[in-house]
């Protein structure tokens, strides 16, 4: 080759490398391509247990393979866990009313339908009308006052009294927690009822088409410990006719002065039913890929790749069951970010510490995937120096990014404070310093791993079919990923690694254990993984009533104030019925042995 040609070639090569060096590490186009696929109509919302979520998993794995990043356990990218993903009616459902003129058999899915959380099996018994099935001492209202429902079936109305009255002691047009199906089930069970027969409160909704709750729309716990079925209002009236009553007049009487109208229906009125629900239990998968470092320590970058599929109980568009919920921001945005970070680090020199990339399943069902992973880590958790969680990072309104967990590691705030000002097109706001919250980082916090949680904002498309890819701000998210990559690089190389700091959680806004609102405060954090009976505590808040009483993470609550606790619904309902200052006796299982403790409930601040 001639000298001049050599010089020209070297100059061109240098220019090419300079162009590569100047090219941004993260671009909106590359990022959006991932989001578009994950939130595409083809993937139908990536519901946990769906074939479409497996397609999303195939896409993630193919990308890791393309980058040369191998499975975390050196064997397989997928880590399986079993979850209940669907429910359907079996062939053995029946409902028969025994009246003075004989028995009337109802047709399943036409005249009656069981709820997913109903007990299964057969039962029969007397019927008691119990109004709305509500016990609300704060409103001086109790449908169960003065009636005996032990071993019987309660016929109750949907919703709550004075639903259209803005002046009601109830919340008028805004329903309270007493209207929840789970609340009605737990209340009936606590009063000893064998089962619940729910009818629509048609008098409060004149002209509305009478519809049943679809079985899939009440997915949640598998068994509330009580039979729970819905029948047509006309069938409720057929039973009440034996006492010369009807639903319209009874509901109007209750609404008039909030005086319960409950009574036992005369003999021979009773019901004979059988509930047969067949549940699909499937293996779903976390995905784990590992980029080794020079030491055995590592940083975790994670995001959940599941969403709501075709809607269901967690959708905020109640009439959208069967419609794909694309989940572009929740959480194709975070998954795409994790993939782009994997691409970036795969092209960098080896870090001092490794980087573990985790795509979680089952987040929308209660952090199931991350809880499973932290219970069965493929790389020892005590070697993890920090976990970065990306969940809903694609829509930074006015450039605002919420950041949580900065207090969970001794160096995390310093790292963020040094790096964030470089990215002045974004505004980083510390949401809270604790590592608690409704996303996958909390599973790692509870295991003593420092965490950082990046999140942009909730919006009107959250958990709705309108959460589509075209609303993602790829340009700003690419800037955010540059910032996250710098944070992760610092954590992967800095000799001064963060030491875990146990933080006090922020005051909970509701739910079991926390107490919710301004009611009684207990102080436990529930573990959402399924257990046969009771509620396992994932953690107990420092200084809370539960902690003062000696309760600990891992305890399983089986009794609260003399009432058995079968599931989270029972615990939530029992706690709501108490007031600050009351002392309750609880029983827990610790390492399989029963322990009693007296818990003095305090005021939620």
pLDDT of residue 527: 81
pLDDT of residue 37: 98
List of residues 6+ apart from 112 with CB closer than 8 A? 95, 106, 229, 230, 231, 232, 235
358 vs 305: CA distance, rounded Å? 10
pLDDT of residue 511: 41
Which residue, among 159, 157, 129, 158, has the nearest Cα to 144 in the 3D structure? 129
* pTM of the model as a whole: 0.78
227 SS3 class: strand
257 vs 601: CA distance, rounded Å? 32
Torsional sign, CA 154, 158, 159, 163: negative
Burial (0-12, 13-18, 19+ Cβ within 10 Å), 123: middle
Which residue, among 332, 307, 464, 396, has the nearest Cα to 39 in the 3D structure? 332
Show the DSSP H helices in 73-232 as ranges. 181-190
321 vs 317: CA distance, rounded Å? 8
326 vs 466: CA distance, rounded Å? 8
pLDDT of residue 53: 97
pLDDT of residue 130: 98
pLDDT along the chain (605 residues), means of 10: 37 38 79 98 96 98 98 97 86 94 91 92 97 92 96 96 87 79 91 96 80 65 86 94 95 94 94 93 95 98 97 82 95 98 97 98 92 96 98 96 97 97 95 89 95 95 96 98 98 96 68 49 83 88 92 94 88 86 96 96 80
* DSSP line for 302-360: EEE--B-TT--TT-S-TT-TTS----IIIIIHHHHHHHHHHHHHHTSPPPSSEEEEEEE
Residue 576 has phi, psi (to 5 degrees) of -65, -25
pLDDT of residue 220: 56
pLDDT of residue 80: 96
List of residues 6+ apart from 212 with CB closer than 8 A? 109, 113, 230
pLDDT of residue 221: 63
> Are the C-beta atoms of residues 277 and 215 closer than 8 Å to each other?
yes
CA atoms within 13 A on the CB side of 544: 25
pLDDT of residue 213: 78
């Amino acid at each position: 080759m001639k000298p001049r040609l050599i010089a020209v070639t070297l100059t061109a090569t240098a220019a090419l490398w300079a162009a590569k060096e100047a090219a941004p590490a993260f671009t909106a186009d590359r990022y959006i391509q991932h989001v578009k696929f994950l939130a595409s109509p083809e993937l139908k919302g990536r519901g946990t247990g769906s074939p479409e979520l497996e397609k999303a998993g195939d896409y993630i794995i193919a990308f890791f393979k393309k980058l040369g990043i191998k499975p975390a356990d050196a064997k397989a990218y997928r880590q399986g866990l079993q979850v209940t993903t669907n429910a359907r009616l079996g062939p053995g459902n029946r409902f028969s009313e025994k009246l003075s003129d004989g028995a009337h058999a109802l047709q399943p899915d036409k005249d009656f339908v069981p709820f997913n959380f109903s007990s299964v099996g057969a039962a029969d018994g007397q019927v008691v009308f119990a109004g709305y099935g509500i016990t609300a001492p704060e409103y001086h209202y109790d449908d169960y006052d003065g009636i005996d429902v032990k071993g019987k079936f309660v016929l109750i109305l949907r919703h709550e009294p004075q639903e259209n009255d803005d002046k009601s002691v109830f919340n008028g047009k805004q329903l309270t927690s007493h209207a929840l199906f789970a609340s009605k089930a737990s209340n009936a069970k606590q009063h000893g009822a064998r089962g619940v027969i729910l009818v629509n409160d048609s008098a409060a909704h004149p002209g509305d088409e009478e519809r049943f709750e679809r079985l899939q729309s009440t997915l949640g716990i598998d068994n509330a410990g009580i039979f729970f079925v819905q029948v047509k209002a006309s069938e409720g009236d057929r039973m009440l006719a034996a006492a010369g009553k009807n639903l319209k007049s009874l509901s109007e009487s209750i609404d008039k002065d909030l005086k319960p109208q409950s009574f036992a229906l005369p003999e021979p009125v009773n019901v004979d039913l059988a509930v047969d629900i067949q549940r699909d239990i499937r293996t779903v998968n976390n995905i784990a890929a590992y980029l080794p470092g020079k030491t055995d320590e590592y940083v975790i970058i994670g995001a959940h790749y599941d969403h709501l599929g075709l809607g269901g109980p967690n959708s905020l568009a109640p009439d959208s069951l069967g419609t794909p919920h694309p989940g572009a921001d929740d959480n194709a945005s975070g998954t795409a970010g994790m993939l782009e970070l994997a691409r970036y680090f795969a092209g960098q020199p080896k870090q001092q510490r490794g980087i573990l990339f985790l795509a979680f399943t089952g987040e929308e069902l209660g952090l199931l995937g991350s809880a499973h992973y932290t219970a069965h880590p493929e790389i020892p958790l005590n070697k993890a120096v920090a976990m970065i969680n990306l969940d809903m990072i694609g829509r930074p309104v006015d450039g605002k990014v919420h950041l949580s967990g900065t207090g969970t590691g001794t160096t995390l705030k310093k790292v963020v404070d040094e790096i964030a000002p470089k990215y002045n097109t974004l505004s980083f706001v510390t949401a809270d310093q604790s590592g608690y919250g409704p996303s996958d980082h909390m599973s790692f916090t509870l295991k003593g791993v420092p965490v950082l949680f990046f999140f942009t904002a909730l919006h009107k498309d959250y958990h709705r079919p309108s959460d589509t890819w075209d609303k993602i701000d790829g340009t700003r998210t690419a800037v955010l990923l540059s910032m996250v990559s710098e944070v992760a690089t610092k954590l992967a190389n800095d000799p001064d690694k963060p030491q875990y700091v146990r933080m006090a959680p922020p005051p909970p806004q509701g739910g079991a254990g926390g107490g919710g609102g301004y009611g009684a405060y207990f102080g436990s954090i529930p573990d959402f993984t399924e257990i046969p009976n009771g509620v396992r505590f994932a953690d107990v808040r420092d200084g809370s009533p539960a902690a003062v009483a000696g309760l600990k993470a891992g305890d399983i609550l089986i009794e609260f104030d003399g009432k058995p606790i079968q599931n989270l619904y029972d615990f939530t309902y029992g706690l709501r019925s108490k007031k600050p200052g009351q002392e309750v006796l609880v029983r827990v299982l610790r390492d399989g042995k029963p322990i009693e403790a007296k818990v003095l409930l305090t005021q939620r601040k």
